[in-house]
Structure 1
Amino acid sequence: MKFEELEIVEPILKALKEEKYEEPTSIQEQAIPLILNRRDVLGSAQTGTGKTAAFAIPILQHLFNDQRQRRHHRAIKALIVTPTRELAIQIGDSFSTYGKYTGLTNTVIFGGVKQAAQTKVLSQGVDILVATPGRLLDLMDQGFIALDRLEYFVLDEADRMLDMGFVHEIRKLIARLPKERQSLFFSATMPPNIVELSNKILRKPAKIAISPVSSTAETIQQYLYLTNRETKKELLIHILKDQDIDPVLLFTRTKHGADKIVRYLKKKNITSAAIHGDKAQNQRQKALDKFKRKEIRVLVATDIAARGIDIDKLRYVINFDIPNVAETYVHRIGRSGRAGEEGVSISLCEPEENAYIRDIERLIKLKIDRVEDNPFPQTDKPMTEKEKKAFEKEKRLRREAFFAARKKSKQHGQGSHPAKRR
């Protein structure tokens, strides 16, 4: 199918052709006709499926067809809410790209920066607003944003929104939206709390589910190092001794793990930064900008924080932790080798993750190349269930003892860490 077959208006088609977009992705093919027919949509789709264009193109078309009938001052007709600054910026750029010949205007607002520049643009009137929840509600409370003429509402990355603790802001926002509107709801996963939230936003929605990807690009070379838990960091430094491996997007399973790796890399004089849900939006954007400018060599990210990040000509992805969901591996390494470029994926696997590798290889129907020239080979055996429980218990007791000691030291005014008293 071609975009022309979706009955898209000429100004938008012209912009799509300039971007070399000829055939819609699966979610675009399914969503665009539904949205053009003014249906509410509940979409389950991962980042990288073309989701933004799936809602941006039909919203632009609706507004383009309607704007000729309007004679009053520009008012916000479409609102897209997304959890992070970087995602908001990317969505705003997409609306600007697809809508460049429509005469429609958009702006992006987010926290972590002074509001003066944002409120100045809002005062001039915009058709489309892309926003993060906190700054949106703040400017609404200050009277800079009115949504009484809103016709189209999009909640994007809903599961990540809840993961970052925005549930109260979203509920407060929904209560202030006009009842008569077209609503679109997108989430990568659909746990019960997401379904419950969608029921409060949508009216008789059409449902779209895009299956997770199950294959990796042929342009990506995949390598696997089998090692032990205790030697992973040393192995990482061994790999990074090759100065050609630069820049690197490195994935960890947890936020705490990401911060630990950054501290370790900095001790080894390797420039790095972390992005995850506990970082402020301006911190994440600053780290991402530095990475794109190659001012830092390694960007350490969790899966949720990395959603929506698109880095041109990124070649190297390292899985410091092997994901326990096979599809996540495909999405991670798919951030390299884009647009026909070559990519390299390097995975560091400890014994407890061997089973995850087997799941990944079954999914992608490919055996990942084992690296034999490995100074830190895997010698340990996976723990039994009994050993796992004992290990987790010991780890929990250690953490409890650490925080108890820290709390005690604070109460005595002796610093934030017991070691600092020596």
Structure 2
Amino acid sequence: MRFRNLNLSTPIQKALQENNYTKPTPVQEKVIPLVLEKNDVMAKAQTGSGKSASFVLPILELWSRNIPEGKAKIKVLVLTPTRELTLQVAEYFSTFGNYLARNPKVVSIIGGESIGDQLYTIQQGCDIVVATSGRLLDVLSKKQMNLSKLEYFVLDEADKMLNLGFSEELDLILEAIPSQRQNLLFSATYPQKMLDIASKITQTPVEVSFENEAPVVEKILQRVIEVNPENRGPLLRHLMKKEKWKSILVFMANKRATDNIAEKFKKRGYLAESFHGDLTQEDRNYTLEQFKAKKIQILFATDLVSRGLDIDDISCVVNYDLPRSPADYIHRIGRTGRAGKSGLAVTFIGHEEQDHFKLIEKRSNIKLEREQIKGFELKGDAPIKEKGKAPVKGKRKSKKDKLREQALKKIK
């Protein structure tokens, strides 16, 4: 199937062709017609499957059929979990709406930038708002944003919003928007908490799932290299030289480790930078643009970039540290091998990571051979596990108790 078979108008098709979009992905092929038929949709699809375009395109199509006269009014609200994904989705709306009779006015609402500037832009009139939930609530609290004409509400990468407090944030947002609207939810996973949130948004969604599809990551060559922690940096430099990797994304466990290793690589002459949530928004935007433009060879990052971001032609993804959540392994390695291309993912493990990586394999339904590189072999013995004392019941506060304490503090 081609995009021209999906009842998208000539201006949108022109934008698609200009940006080398010819054949829809399975999620786009299935979801676009459902959105055009005005259905609520709850889609479950893997990283790299093209979820964002599957709602951007049909929403632009529906919006363009009934462009309101006069000052632009907010018709579309999209929530995303990160600033970077917010900016990317907003860019999609602008890019694919470029040839419409009137270009949609798109506003990004994110932290790290002037809320005054964002309010001013909104007041000048806008059609589409793409936002992170926290900053959106800050804007709503100023009572200078009118969402009464909203027709489309979207949660993108919804399961990544399951941080403590998002359910309460969502309640406030739902109070601010019309009850009659089209709802679209897109997520890689739907744990029970996500289903609970979905039930607040829509009662009658068409559910779309691609669990039986061949995994997006099947075109990614996955290597697992056993190495002692102190040799991971030297091994990475050895592999970069030997394999001639041109664009490398390295996932680290925390912000401090990300900064430290980036500095070490820069001192050795590598075009290296770090990327994490403590950077200013200006620095985050600049660093990503430089990496996309291949002016940075190796980017050391936290899991901030493991979901949603579309960066072309990453030669290799390296798990320098394992992700805490087994599910994040697939999201990380999905940053390479985008758009049907082949990719490479390398994971470093030592003695202490063996059990956790076995769990990752089990949850990801994969089994990978371990390898060792000459001169960087894993040495020593696995540490002997000592059985800890059994937890004393009632000593540790439950999440419910913690939430209750927080609520009481607010009341006081």
Contact 1:84 1:281 in 2 (8 A): no
Shift in alpha-carbon separation, 1:280–1:262, aligned structure 2, 3 A:
same
Q: Distance in 2 between matches of 1:60 and 1:345?
A: 35
Say which SS state the counterpart of residue 163 (structure 1) adopts.
coil
Q: Distance in 2 between matches of 1:324 and 1:123?
A: 42
Look up the match of 2:399.
none
Contact 2:313 2:337 in 1 (8 A): yes
Which structure 2 segments of 5+ residues have no match?
392-412
Look up the match of 1:57.
57
Look up the match of 1:98.
96
Q: CA deviation at 1:381?
A: 4.9
Q: CA deviation at 1:120?
A: 3.4
Q: Distance in 1 between matches of 2:365 and 2:113?
A: 42
Deviations 1:275-328 (A, max 9, x none): 25x666555434434534556553233445421222233223212134587775
Q: Distance in 2 between matches of 1:15 and 1:202?
A: 31
Q: Equivalent pairs: percent with the same residue?
A: 36
Which structure 1 segments of 5+ residues have no match?
394-422
Look up the match of 1:407.
none
Look up the match of 1:370.
371
Look up the match of 1:420.
none
1:39 aligned partner, one-letter code? N
Contact 2:258 2:302 in 1 (8 A): no
Q: Distance in 1 between matches of 2:128 and 2:70?
A: 16
Contact 1:259 1:274 in 2 (8 A): no
Look up the match of 2:86.
88
Shift in alpha-carbon separation, 1:381–1:43, aligned structure 2, 3 A:
farther
Contact 2:73 2:149 in 1 (8 A): yes
Shift in alpha-carbon separation, 1:223–1:288, aligned structure 2, 3 A:
same
Q: Distance in 2 between matches of 1:36 and 1:197?
A: 24
1:76 aligned partner, one-letter code? I
Look up the match of 2:123.
123
Q: Distance in 1 between matches of 2:144 and 2:231?
A: 54
Contact 1:214 1:363 in 2 (8 A): no
Q: Distance in 2 between matches of 1:76 and 1:22?
A: 30
Say which SS state the counterpart of residue 208 (structure 2) adopts.
strand
Contact 2:74 2:149 in 1 (8 A): yes
Say which SS state the counterpart of residue 174 (structure 2) adopts.
helix
C-alpha RMSD of matched pairs (Å) = 3.5
Shift in alpha-carbon separation, 1:186–1:388, aligned structure 2, 3 A:
farther
- Provide the aligned length of Structure 1 versus Structure 2: 383
Look up the match of 1:262.
259
Look up the match of 2:188.
188
Deviations 1:26-71 (A, max 9, x none): 111221122112111112223311111111111111111122xx43
2:175 aligned partner, one-letter code? A
Q: Distance in 2 between matches of 1:215 and 1:44?
A: 13
Q: Distance in 2 between matches of 1:112 and 1:362?
A: 36
Q: CA deviation at 1:160?
A: 1.3
Look up the match of 1:273.
274
Look up the match of 1:418.
none
Say which SS state the counterpart of residue 58 (structure 1) adopts.
helix
Contact 1:39 1:205 in 2 (8 A): yes
Deviations 1:134-156 (A, max 9, x none): 22222222233210111111111
Contact 1:217 1:337 in 2 (8 A): no
TM-score after normalising by structure 2: 0.79
Deviations 1:316-364 (A, max 9, x none): 3212134587775454334235468775433212235456379759979
Look up the match of 1:398.
none
TM-score after normalising by structure 1: 0.77
More displaced stretch, 307-316 vs 279-288: 279-288
Deviations 1:360-403 (A, max 9, x none): 59979886683542x2212345556xx06559x9xxxxxxxxxx
Contact 2:317 2:336 in 1 (8 A): yes
Q: Distance in 2 between matches of 1:141 and 1:363?
A: 42
Contact 1:214 1:364 in 2 (8 A): no
Paired residues for 1:21-420 under 5 Å: 21-67=21-67, 70-102=68-100, 103-105=102-104, 106-163=106-163, 166-211=166-211, 214=215, 216=217, 222-229=222-229, 231-236=231-236, 238-239=238-239, 244-252=244-252, 254=253, 256=254, 258-267=255-264, 269=267, 271-275=272-276, 281=281, 284-292=284-292, 297-303=297-303, 305-322=305-322, 328-338=328-338, 343-354=343-354, 356=357, 360=361, 370-373=371-374, 375-382=375-382, 387=385, 389=387
